[in-house]
Amino acid sequence: MPSLFLICAKEPAKSRLLEEALRGLSEEGFAVAARSEQADWWELFSTATTGGLFEEKNIYVVDSPEAMGPLPSPLALQVEKKELASTVILLLYEGNVEKYIPRDVIKLATIKKPDKVPHWTSGRIEWIKGLIKKTGVKWEAGAISLLEEWIEDPEEIKSEIDKLTTLASDGLVTENLVKNLCVDEGSKAFLNLLDGLCEGKAELVVRSLARIKKESDVLPVVSGLHRRMRLAMYLADYKDKGEKKEDILSAFGAKPYQAKKALLASRIYSTKALRRFVSEMIKASCMNKRLSAGAWEVVEMALLALLNSKAGRPS
């Protein structure tokens, strides 16, 4: 009698779960006997229950089982638990299977679904930490924050963790390693611009801006600079206003990586200099509607002015 193995996911999670399922079944002695895009329930069960004498532990994979419709009641009676079965029918569904498989059969089946990943930042970070813990590799806090902020898709995060685990030097994943391996070259230039400004690194800022001007529109750059440095401006001024740093970060919905860099900027630039820079970004945004070249000039001069203002400031 066959057992059902149900994968309920969309790509790219579906492919990953299929790979994991086949690897696990292979370790139990099963092997793929056939794979098809479409099938018929009756033919599928007939094939699965009439294996050859020397083919006792077979897997039959169906990629689009929705096309077969609901499992017929007579066939539902033939399904048993995987522990008892010599054949596995592995069905790759994209969503809820209750429309196709009766609940009493689902209880006998093996079901694999993607992780439910929280949408809020702290929850996503804890989820990432859980994945990292299984690898035995240590991560810098900044590396985790950057990965969470920069990559949205959970499957891509898992893939990047696998890659970083393999390439980690001395068993440690650093913030720089994530930046170098997980951020594409165009985005890396923008990230370097933001981080270089927050860290007061003039050479990195100038080099990054030169590349960005060749490849990007001015408005996204202005928006990113405004968002990051406006947070720094409020953080620089929070003590004088009697506000708590945590309240400001919460009000802005700042992610940990963004907050870390903005807090650093608030320590090396004055509130006055940051306020002037934020005003210049607003000016550049308005100017962009008439002449983008002029907006770039405003951005460049504002960056240099802010970097020069840090002279004499305690770091």
| Confidence at residue 243, expressed as pLDDT on a 0 to 100 scale | 61
For residue 53, is pLDDT > 50? no
| Confidence at residue 242, expressed as pLDDT on a 0 to 100 scale | 53
58, β-bridge pairs:
31, 87
C-beta separation of 273 from 309 below 8 A: yes
Six-digit token string for 64: 């689009």
For residue 167, is pLDDT > 90? no
| Confidence at residue 5, expressed as pLDDT on a 0 to 100 scale | 96
Distance CA 280, CA 196 (A): 18
For the stretch 102-143, pLDDT in tens is 999 999 999 999 888 888 888 999 999 999 998 989 999 999
Distance CA 210, CA 142 (A): 26
Residues 6+ apart with CB under 8 A from 180: 188
Six-digit token string for 234: 């409020």
For the stretch 241-258, pLDDT in tens is 556 788 888 888 888 999
CA distance between the termini of the chain: 72
Cβ atoms within 10 A of the Cβ of 95, count?
A: 11
For residue 1, is pLDDT > 60? yes
Residues 6+ apart with CB under 8 A from 58: 30, 31, 32, 33, 34, 48, 51, 86, 87, 88
* Positive/negative CA dihedral, 15, 20, 21, 26: positive
**What is this structure's pTM?**
0.65
Distance CA 21, CA 42 (A): 24
For residue 314, is pLDDT > 50? no
* Positive/negative CA dihedral, 205, 285, 262, 164: negative
Q: What is the mean pLDDT of residues 235-243?
A: 70
For the stretch 201-218, pLDDT in tens is 999 999 999 999 888 889
